[in-house]
Amino acid sequence: MESFRPHVIFSAAITLDGKLATRTGDSKLSSKKDKIRVHKLRSKVDAILIGKNTVEIDDPLLSAHNIRKKNPIRIILDSNATIRTNSKILKTCSRIPTIIAVSKKAPKKNLQKLEKFPVQVIVCGNYTVNIKKLLGILKKKGIKNILVEGGGKTNWGFIKENLVDEAVITITPYLVGGITATTLVDGDGFSTISKSLRLKLKNVTKMKNEVILHYKN
């Protein structure tokens, strides 16, 4: 792992055909048992990171659900600072540490809205959040490991820069289809297999009707 940044772990539940959700955004894929496993994993990291789109679609709380007393820091990638003020993230930021990463182009009026909440705003990148630079800043703040639970766009931002150390992926027993349904990794994608990120399979766990794959870089 590169020393300038925290250890990055991908975490996701996907369908058999590689989707994170249906075309309408329904992402309720994991079983109750797998959700407990994810909460335990969250309890072991310093921070959880998602993109603003995930906030818009799922409105998650991103807590460890009583697995430990102290919740991980929540990090939201939000280039234009457009996160909804009534989102669970902002409603609970007084009790769960929250960082909003924005770009230099974020409108002043949007930043002023965020000033009303006890969140830390990090300006990083000209037009979109510079993930590599952000990770360097987070490392200096003492964050040693991050769980990335992003959508396809956020995940591509990490993968294209080879910023992934581990991937823990739950394969669920659904086939949903849909050309517009979000996949595990969206974005432009690599042009050839030889240029893509190749991970090493470390462990396979069968859990009733689900399979958990653990890969390392």
Distance CA 46, CA 64 (A): 11
Q: What is the DSSP letter of 30?
A: S
Under DSSP, is residue 49 helix (H, G, I), strand (E, B) or coil? strand
- What average pLDDT is seen over the chain? 94
Residue 43 burial class via C-beta count within 10 angstroms: exposed 0-12, middle 13-18, buried 19 and up: middle
Distance CA 28, CA 20 (A): 9
Name the phi and psi angles at 36, rounded to 5. Answer: -65, -40
The CATH T-level fold of domain 7-216 is Dihydrofolate Reductase, subunit A (3.40.430)
Given a cut of 70, is residue 135 above it in pLDDT?
yes
Asked if residues 78 and 177 have their Cβ atoms less than 8 Å apart, the reply is no
Given a cut of 50, is residue 1 above it in pLDDT?
no
Q: What is the DSSP letter of 195?
A: G
Better-scored residue on pLDDT, 166 or 69: 166
* pLDDT tens by residue, 64-95: 766 666 789 999 999 999 999 999 999 999 99
Spell out the domain ranges in the chain: 7-216
Q: What percent of the chain has pLDDT over 90?
A: 89
Given a cut of 50, is residue 37 above it in pLDDT?
yes
> Hey, what amino acid is at 178?
G
CA angle 143, 185, 13 (to 5 degrees): 75
User: What pLDDT score was predicted for residue 71?
Assistant: 87
Given a cut of 70, is residue 2 above it in pLDDT?
no
User: What single string gives the DSSP state of each residue in 155-194?
Assistant: HHHHHTTT--SEEEEEEPS-----TTSPBSS-SS--SSGG
The kind and range of the H/E element at 207 are strand 200-207
